[in-house]
Structure 1
Amino acid sequence: MTVATAGEFGLISRVTARLGAASPFVLLGPGDDAAVVAAPDARVVASTDALVEGRHFRRDWSSARDVGHRAAAANLADIAAMGARPTALLVALCAPANLQISWAEELADGLAAEAAKTGATVVGGDTSSSPTLTIAVTALGDLEGRAPVVRSGARPGDVVAVAGRIGHAAAGYSILSRGFRAPKLLVDAHRRPEVPYHLGAVAARMGATSMIDVSDGLLADLGHIAAASGVGIDLRRDAFTLPEPMLAAATALGVDPYDWILAGGDDHALAATFPPDTELSADWLVVGSVVAPSSVTEGDGVAVDGRRYAGGAPGWDHFR
């Protein structure tokens, strides 16, 4: 059965039936003109992102459930990077009329499963016909009484730390692009991010001065912090431990694995800056320091071992 056969409202009925139980934040879920979501903090953190077939995912590389996980993770990570707790997702699906209804159902399964990791649920959305399969997601979150952790708070002397996998998704993309399907660890990382959502709120409570999720590349995303804070950032290449599958894949493909680590995105790790006396748990890997802007004279405010990154573009840019 295709989505055209099911019709718009048949599609909506099938999808909403798979979204699971509502979280305590959801006062009114799917089925009305709009959802009603509690905002105990009296402030709502909001973020939106779109995944376009051929640009962000390929159906011959990823299952519908994989795409659901990725679409939810891209937005939930933004909420976590503000130091907030995710509460709800809104999803718009634009699909060709010949899309199998089972694909949309499995997409909903992935969205619901990823949201459940954070205690959030899908509360509504929209559907439309489109020649290009597109999934647009909006995430909402609650600050639980804390100040948001923004990009503009980093100060010289702070340490830079990363939580979560880094470089894995980019390596997986390179492997799939060359027509291979292994190592599985890296290919699966491209298909489904593993995001340490809870550490966003933990970082906020620990006094993080700035934070961002690594979606476009560590150098590019830390460049946003450097620009917003008016500082420089110096990373240490030797701070990163390369797992054996990544080393093996890099050797087989003839690439520098540090390009995946430093400029690869889509892992949605959390990168944050902390005051130098902060006692960080083992969840965080210290990878560099915040320096005076005059200490970084080239690039976008981020250096590697005191020098400009020489590996090419520092991350992903949709319009380049």
Structure 2
Amino acid sequence: MSPVFTMACQGYDRMRPLLDGTVGLGGAELNFLDLPVEETFFRMLKYREFDIAELSLSSYVLTLGEDAPFVAVPVFPSRAFRHSAVYVRHDSPVTEPAQLAGGTVGVPEYQITAAVWIRGILAELHGLGVASVRYRTGGLDEPGRVEKIALDLPSDVDVAPIAEGRTLSGMLLDGELDAVYSARNPGPFNAGGGIRRLFTDPERTEKDYHASTGIFPIMHTLVIRSDVYRQHRWLATELVKSCELAKTAALAGIGETAALPYALPWLWAEAERTRAALGSDWWPYGLEANRAALETFLRYSHEQGLASRRYEPEELFAPETLSKVVV
């Protein structure tokens, strides 16, 4: 009888063939749980509930060490440019990131991957040093969010939770925060209620960023619980192979015009623009195609006082997933 592995991951288009069984997992059966990312992260980090799970890249790096609970494979279910994830009040005088120096910024958690990317990019390319603002953590639109991982930060980094019952969106609207860094759109922004993006043309800014760096920022990776990996070393390679097949199947018809696969009339045009800007494989898996993004993120994590040392990309992943079989 084939072993059954439970995998928790959001049901993205590139993962859906694994969810619906169109693509199988070699040598095993997959019990795919389509869960929102925050729930998956919380349950995996706190209780180790799943055999395989989508995990924040930042959180995963912070679990590395002698008794690391997880082993990653170079599959990246979530990526996103993050210039578009910086929000200010609609009437804020701030028009450039450097103007936030001396201010207070809200983040759901200091260590989340989106915030690491934003702080690093703003420091390196936009003149806003990481320690030049105060950070306040908590729920974006719902109170009660806390850091999932204990942090030991440099003394010059001011991070503190917001008051019980408060939200980052509410504090931004009330003028108690100068900006919010958030992977999710704040609720008032979606409702057109007094919040705008800091960058006036974030799409253009993000395309320019990719053109100059070659980086499409990685948000999440897939991890295998270490005890499962030790018992089934073959699982890492088979998981990568299946995820590659799933991604290929999902993206094959994204630009189709005969019968639109998604309810977006000009998705074909967006697919063509994306291909022109990012290349034919704009969502690559594997180490080498993602080396620049991984090296940059690992540098940011260490510089921001999160990772205890600057890891190399090869240290993140199961070694057998870094080699190709030559025939």
TM-score normalised by length of structure 2: 0.25
Instruction: State the structure with bigger RCO (CA 8 A, min sep 6), 1 or 2.
Output: 2
Name the structure where strand makes up a greater proportion of residues: 1
